A and B are shown apart, each in its own frame.
Chain A
Amino acid sequence: QTVVTQEPSFSVSPGGTVTLTCGLRAGSVSTTYYASWYQQTPGQAPRTLMYNTNTRSSGVPDRFSGSILGNKAALTITGAQADDESDYYCVLYMGSGIWVFGGGTKLTVL
C-alpha cells in the first residue's frame, strides 16, 4: 500500500516563509509523480494551488511555489498571510490510473 507523507502540522509567523513537503514512505518523489497541491478551509471544497510539481493554478499568487526538494515534493509559501491558514494536501499520480493523497498539513499562521 502506497503511503504519501505530509507533516501533520506546521506553524509560520505572518510574513514568514514555510515549506511543506510531500514524500513517499517508500521511495523518492520526482516530477514523474506530477505532484499537485490543494488548499482547504473548514467546510469548503479544496482549491487547486499547484500542479505538475511547480505550475501555479490560475489566480494563485506567486508567493506560492512548488519544487522538488531532495526526495520530496515541496510547497513553499513566502510572505505568509493570515488567510493562508488552512489545510494543505498533496496528491501524487502513481501511474496506471491511481492517485494517492497525503494526510494533509494543518498550517497555522501566528
Chain B
Amino acid sequence: EVQLLESGGALVQPGGSLRLSCAASGFTFSSYTMHWVRQAPGKGLEWLSALSGTSGGTFYADSVKGRFTISRDNSKNTLYLQMNTLRAEDTAVYYCAKRGGSQEFDYWGQGTLVTVSS
C-alpha cells in the first residue's frame, strides 16, 4: 500500500526558513517523480514543485522559484521541501504527491500545516 506522510510543518516568523519532509512507502520511491502541492486556508490547490525520479530534474512554480528547493534522499525514501524567506502568503497545508503513469498525482499525503506569522 502506498503511503505518504508529511512532517515538519510549524509556526514560523516572516523571513524564516523551514524544511518539510515526506516519508514514502509501498512503492519504489527512487523511480517516481514526486511533487509538492499546497493549499492556503479556504483557497484552492497550487502546484509548487516536482523532482524527477529518473533524471533528477527539478521544476518549480514561479511563485516559489528561488525561495523553495525540492530534494530527495532515495536511501531514506524521503522527499524534502526547503522553504526560505517565508512570507505570510506561504501559510498553507503542504501536501506531497506521487506522480502516476500519465502526469497525474495518483497518491497524496495527508498534509502538514505551515503558518507564517509574527
Taking Cβ atoms with an 8 Å cutoff, the residues of A that contact B are 1, 34, 36, 38, 40, 45-48, 51-52, 55, 57, 87, 89, 91, 93, 96-104
Contacts and interface: CB of A to CB of B under 8 A. Distances in A.
Nearest to B52: A97
B22 to A, nearest CB: 12
Given A1-B62, A51-B103, A104-B44, 10 more contacts: A34-B102, A45-B111, A46-B95, A96-B59, A98-B61, A99-B47, A101-B37, A101-B46, A102-B44, A103-B44
B1 interface: no
Size category of the binding interface on chain B: 20 to 34
8 contacts: A36-B102, A45-B95, A45-B109, A46-B95, A48-B104, A48-B108, A100-B47, A101-B46
Nearest to A36: B104
Nearest to A58: B106
Contacts of A51: 100, 102-104, 106
